[in-house]
Amino acid sequence: MQKSISKVASGWRLILSVLIVGSFISCEDSNTVGGGVIEPAEIVVDTLLLEDYQQDELDIYSGDLSNMPLGKYNDPLFGGFEFTGLMKPILLGVPDDSLNDSTSFKLLLKFNDRDSYGDTTQSINFNIYKVTERWRSSTILSSDDVMFDESTSIGSFSYTDEDTVIVDLAESYFLEYADYVNNEDTNRDSLYNFEFFGLAIVPEDVSSKIVFPNMNESNFLTIKGEDSVSVGVFGHGFNLERENKPTFADRIYLNNYLESFYSLSFEDLAETIDNRNILKAEFYLYEDSIQTKNSLPTDHIRPDINFLYLRFQDTQQLRYSLQFTSPRFTSIKDNKDKSYKFDITDHINEFVFSDPGQREFFLNLSIDGGALNSTIFFDTTANVSLRPKIILTTGN
């Protein structure tokens, strides 16, 4: 009896084992059969044209940016730009061996990461003058007109397309600097701050190019015999003078020195949205690349832009927010159709399902480390396909 029960039990166990193993190997991937019975999710694409935006203007903080624009160029589309650079060496510690007239003083400018702006066939000449009034790199604005002594040049140089330029500075200027370095009084730092104002790098009037030295690698040098000592930059900045500022009747004009930026809101458009399953909301802007390209003479170049930003104003003042805070949305240029696409889905969903809190965006170009960028976009007067718009994709 016991033997026969074991046989039955073995049979049961065998069948159960097959079933259990079968259950574990029965997983199949979701497959594509059945699309005619179970309809796929449907999507609907709508276009909402953005009509409401306002142009605005500010000047930027021009101090201590990565690149310092130098030069002068009259852009046929965007007008004349003239940049005067300002630099001041740090005050070295009191040396064991005093700096004297056997030491030479030089300015080293590195040009290794930026294309120039303007005529690529021409050289550009600069004169260097002593600045005659106090300025601070932490607060200087591009519109601040800092005075310098044009009667006496303390150096000059010409630039074509070199990686590095080393400029001899006048002995008189160096000795003035050396007085502060050699000064052992306790108030030497404050004297240096309040009495020594650095130098101005001024383009000659005939210039037709703007260059952007890399200020993270530029510095001053003291050379005594074969010994060379690097002298860091205490602060730098620039002053911009504009001529023939452009006014575009039928284009959106953006300049990264905040000469032109825009405020806009998507609130009115969001209120028109019926379907609440928003899969994508994308804000499109189309660059007028033909006009920007055709406006330049042969052999002239203008820095390309590739990024565009939408920002909220944070608790800081607007100028600071636009220049230094992180954007809410970033767009990279699609070179196929020169469009910029912002994925603003989350912002539109905030309107539909909540309260976005901040509603006003600012559209601007990146400060781009100090390199000058300007461009234009099609506005509400353009062909519908090129107007600023939201492409809204909703689902069922």
Partner 1 sequence: MRKVALFISLSLIVFSNSAFAQNDEGKSGTVYSSYGTGFPIMNNSVQEKGLGTLGLSINDPASPSLANPAFWGTNTFSNASVAFDITNYSVKDAFNEGDNSLFKLGSIQLVFPIQKNKLGLSVSLHPETITSYDVSSNQEYDLGDNTNEYFSNRAGTGGITKFEIGLGYQINENILVGYAPSYSFLTELEKRTLVFLDGIARLNTVDTKTNGAGFSNRFGIALNKKRIFSNRDMLQFGGTVSLPIEFNAKREVVSTKIIGSEEVEVQIEDVERADVSIPLKVGAGLTYSFNGSTSISAEAQFEEWDNAEYGFSGEEENVFKNRQVYGFGVQVNPTRRSTGRFLSNIKYNAGISYDSGHLELRNNEINTLWFSFGVGLLSPNLRTNSSLDLSFQYGKRGTTSNSLVKEDIFSVNLSVNLTELMFLKRKLN
CB nearer partner 1, residue 38 or residue 249: 38
In the complex, least distance from residue 37 CB atom to partner 1, rounded to whole angstroms = 5
In the complex, least distance from residue 359 CB atom to partner 1, rounded to whole angstroms = 14
In the complex, least distance from residue 357 CB atom to partner 1, rounded to whole angstroms = 8
In the complex, least distance from residue 304 CB atom to partner 1, rounded to whole angstroms = 21
In the complex, least distance from residue 309 CB atom to partner 1, rounded to whole angstroms = 17
Up-side HSE of residue 116: CA atoms within 13 Å toward CB? 25
In the complex, least distance from residue 349 CB atom to partner 1, rounded to whole angstroms = 5
CB nearer partner 1, residue 121 or residue 385: 385
Helix (H, G, I), strand (E, B) or coil at 379: coil
Structure token digits, residue 117: 């702006």
Strand-pair category, 219-224 with 209-211? unpaired
Structure token digits, residue 300: 């002239």
CB nearer partner 1, residue 63 or residue 356: 356
In the complex, least distance from residue 384 CB atom to partner 1, rounded to whole angstroms = 10
d(CA 93, CA 363): 45
Do residues 208 and 108 touch, judged by C-beta distance below 8 A?
Answer: no
CB nearer partner 1, residue 26 or residue 315: 26
Q: How many residues are there in the chain?
A: 396
CB nearer partner 1, residue 249 or residue 384: 384
CB nearer partner 1, residue 27 or residue 290: 27
Beta sheet of 227-231, edge-to-edge order? 164-168, 104-110, 219-224, 227-231
Do residues 66 and 111 touch, judged by C-beta distance below 8 A?
Answer: no
For 129, phi then psi, to 5°, come to -125, 160
Following CA atoms 349, 353, 355, 358 in sequence, which dihedral angle do they give, to the nearest 10 degrees? Answer: 0
d(CA 353, CA 127): 60
CB nearer partner 1, residue 5 or residue 206: 5
CB nearer partner 1, residue 10 or residue 164: 10
Interface positions with partner 1 (CB under 8 A): 1, 3-5, 7-8, 10-12, 15-16, 19, 22-23, 26-41, 43, 45, 276-280, 343, 345-346, 349-350, 353-354, 357, 385, 391, 393, 395
How many C-beta atoms surround the C-beta of residue 374 within 10 A?
23
168, 163, 255, 167: which is closest to 213 by C-alpha? Answer: 163
Amino acid at 128: I
Structure token digits, residue 12: 């049961």
CB nearer partner 1, residue 297 or residue 357: 357
Please name every residue paired with 108 in a beta bridge, in sequence order, or none if there are none.
166, 219
In the complex, least distance from residue 272 CB atom to partner 1, rounded to whole angstroms = 17
CA–CA distance from 285 to each of 154, 206, 243 (Å)?
48, 37, 28
CB nearer partner 1, residue 28 or residue 227: 28
Amino acid at 79: G
Up-side HSE of residue 110: CA atoms within 13 Å toward CB? 12
In the complex, least distance from residue 306 CB atom to partner 1, rounded to whole angstroms = 16
Helix (H, G, I), strand (E, B) or coil at 80: strand
In the complex, least distance from residue 262 CB atom to partner 1, rounded to whole angstroms = 24
Do residues 8 and 358 touch, judged by C-beta distance below 8 A?
Answer: no
In the complex, least distance from residue 22 CB atom to partner 1, rounded to whole angstroms = 5
CB nearer partner 1, residue 71 or residue 327: 327
